[in-house]
Structure 1
Amino acid sequence: MVAEKHEHIFRNGSKTYYFSSRFFPPVVRRDVYALYGFVRVADNLVDDQPVDPDAFHAFRKTYTEALTSGKASGDVIIDAFLELQNRKHFDPAWTEAFLDSMEHDLSARTCESLDEVLTYIYGSAEVIGLYMARIMDLSEEAFGYAVMLGRAMQYINFIRDIKEDLEIGRRYLPLGGSGLTSLDSEYVQQHPEQFKTFIRDEIKRYQHWQKEAQKGYRFIPRRYRIPIMTAADMYCWTAHQIAKDPFIVFEKKVKPPKARILRKGIAHSIGVALPCRIVANQKG
């Protein structure tokens, strides 16, 4: 029943991660589901509208008290995560950083500098890479690359979700040096070339981080590398769609279809997948 709840949360929360994770062996997949259940519930508590700060603080308090006491909290999502955290030797400081970033969303509205963005990304995404490295029992040599992969994926989420974030008063992309003062649709429609250049430049930033992350694939056993590469390729595909037409972020939420995810995973499984490439300096 608990495993089914985790899978339900995962499938409803992220199609890309869920269908990519299907290529993990079952024992690893269960751990990934338990991890995702915890982070998705916390994330929903700060994203669902209207935001209920009391519900998030209660969730965090329940986690902290269970961690401190070593006793079950009675919350199946939290208890499954704590069992995973203990068994896979997650650093509790990672979870504090994650919860800090989630709490940040209760009040902070914009990120004005890259340093501010990266502080947020560390807790919201880079530690997820560290969790995954522990779940896969990777050597600590892989940790820096796992962090970079989490960073790259989160940055594409920020670009993809510009419209959605603006609707709840948030902006994660810093505008310094872009010549833009806003990412509101009406404003960027009046500054189309500046907006296109800005988005493509931010995609180049993602590309740099993604290329660095890919250097760490050599540390991942092949049976685990397939789902990781599949998910990464889907983020690359998303970046490619946005680079072609940056204004698409105001028209729809760019996500790969299930069939594309599964085809890519199968292609990686049989060793015929081609690397995803982005042309981020397109014109028009």
Structure 2
Amino acid sequence: MIDRTIYGIFRRGSRTYFYSTLFFPPGVREDVFSLYSFVRTADDYVDAVPQEVEEFYAFTDRYAMAMAGEATGDVVIDSFVELSGRKGFDPAWTTAFLRSMESDITVGSYRTIRDLEGYLYGSSGVIGLMMARVLDLPPESYPAAQNLGRAMQYVNFIRDIAEDLALGRTYFPHQEMEAFGLDDLSAISASRNPRRFAAFVRFQLRRYREWQEGAEAGFRYIPRRYRIPIRTASDMYRWTARTIERDPAVVHRRKVKPSVIRIVSGAASNTLKA
């Protein structure tokens, strides 16, 4: 039985992940809910306006207590730690995740793609690794799992350019922005340099597709009963990327997200294909 708090965090946090996850078998579904609620809660603290810095560090302290064997009374943390132990998560993965979340408190930009990839490993690559453990996939699947995690997050970065700018963040290498003649990625800059902005966004989408292709090469390791929700979520991110590629300026007008109907019909289609 999924705890109501955990259920609420997941449902509010991500339409694509939530509705895709419903197509997992019940036991796996509960584990994914526990994983997502933990990472979403940490992310929400650093994305709050103003940032809830004290709350974030209190969260990390409770996590350390739970890892030391103490029951914290925090259902999000306690359920994640139980999942982590049962599925054999490497504790270094969670450490890397919390380190990337902490960097959102102090770091607002990245100079090179190498700098950004360090953040991406902790914020999304390790989530892919945790999902691989949740699904009991073989170690051979891990590189693909990391690719899927960072590919999906990269689409979110592109989709959320305006939202992240409002938080004082730019998740794209400044070195690459300069190469396209852009000082920043604001709506004003995009309207003044529409071709440069569009070219820059499409360049970033090509990077997403490279990672996505690497991820899909590993789908063969996923059992059929688990492949349907994974492929459905993946398909929704492809749809988001295609929508933005047709009109990159859309990221400054609205948040591009698939509808519930699109997600559910996608899952139904994948069920027939599997």
For the pair 1:217 / 2:219, whether they are aligned, the reply is yes
Which residue of the partner structure matches residue 281 of structure 1?
none
8 Å contact from structure 1 (residues 3, 33) kept in 2? no
8 Å contact from structure 2 (residues 2, 30) kept in 1? no
Which residue of the partner structure matches residue 109 of structure 1?
108
Which residue of the partner structure matches residue 82 of structure 2?
83
Q: Matches of 1:15 and 1:62 in 2, distance apart?
A: 28
Alpha-carbon deviations, 1:86-115, whole Å to 9, x = none? 000000000000000000001111112101
Which residue of the partner structure matches residue 23 of structure 2?
23
Q: Quick check: which one's helix share is greater?
A: 2
For the pair 1:241 / 2:240, whether they are aligned, the reply is no
What is the letter of the counterpart of residue 109 of structure 2?
T
- Structure 2: state its 5+ residue gaps: none
Q: Matches of 2:100 and 2:155 in 1, distance apart?
A: 17
Alpha-carbon deviations, 1:146-187, whole Å to 9, x = none? 000001001000000000000111000113222211111112
Pairs within 5 Å for 1:90-101: 90-101=89-100
Alpha-carbon deviations, 1:1-38, whole Å to 9, x = none? 86222111101000000001111001000000000110
TM-score, normalisation: structure 2: 0.97
Which residue of the partner structure matches residue 8 of structure 1?
8
Give the CA deviation at 1:66: 1.9
For the pair 1:165 / 2:187, whether they are aligned, the reply is no
After the TM superposition, which of the residue ranges 5-14 and 174-183 deviates more from structure 2? 174-183
8 Å contact from structure 1 (residues 98, 127) kept in 2? yes
Q: Matches of 2:65 and 2:30 in 1, distance apart?
A: 25
Q: Matches of 1:15 and 1:159 in 2, distance apart?
A: 17
Which residue of the partner structure matches residue 139 of structure 1?
138
After the TM superposition, which of the residue ranges 30-39 and 107-116 deviates more from structure 2? 107-116
What is the letter of the counterpart of residue 95 of structure 1?
T
Pairs within 5 Å for 1:22-41: 22-41=22-41
- Structure 1: state its 5+ residue gaps: 273-284
Which residue of the partner structure matches residue 48 of structure 1?
48
Q: Matches of 1:230 and 1:55 in 2, distance apart?
A: 34
8 Å contact from structure 1 (residues 148, 209) kept in 2? yes
Which residue of the partner structure matches residue 208 of structure 1?
210
Give the CA deviation at 1:48: 1.1
Q: SS at 1:156's partner residue?
A: helix
Alpha-carbon deviations, 1:168-216, whole Å to 9, x = none? 1100011322221111111221111000000011101101110111000
After the TM superposition, which of the residue ranges 57-66 and 163-172 deviates more from structure 2? 57-66
Which residue of the partner structure matches residue 250 of structure 1?
252
After the TM superposition, which of the residue ranges 107-116 and 220-229 deviates more from structure 2? 107-116
What is the letter of the counterpart of residue 235 of structure 1?
Y
Runs of 4+ in 1 over 6 A off after TM superposition: none
What is the letter of the counterpart of residue 262 of structure 2?
R
Give the % identical residues.
49
What is the letter of the counterpart of residue 183 of structure 1?
L
Give the CA deviation at 1:65: 2.0
Q: Matches of 1:74 and 1:21 in 2, distance apart?
A: 26
For the pair 1:65 / 2:65, whether they are aligned, the reply is yes
Q: Matches of 1:159 and 1:2 in 2, distance apart?
A: 32
Q: Matches of 1:39 and 1:210 in 2, distance apart?
A: 22
Which of 263, 266, 269 is the equivalent residue of 2:265? 263
Q: Matches of 1:246 and 1:2 in 2, distance apart?
A: 39
Q: Matches of 1:173 and 1:162 in 2, distance apart?
A: 9
Which residue of the partner structure matches residue 156 of structure 1?
155
Q: Matches of 2:122 and 2:244 in 1, distance apart?
A: 25
For the pair 1:124 / 2:126, whether they are aligned, the reply is no
Give the CA deviation at 1:117: 1.1
Q: SS at 1:270's partner residue?
A: helix
Q: SS at 1:105's partner residue?
A: helix
Which of 230, 233, 236 is the equivalent residue of 1:231? 233
Give the CA deviation at 1:230: 0.2
What is the letter of the counterpart of residue 62 of structure 1?
R
Alpha-carbon deviations, 1:55-98, whole Å to 9, x = none? 1011101101221x212112111000000000000000000000
Cα RMSD after superposing both structures: 1.1
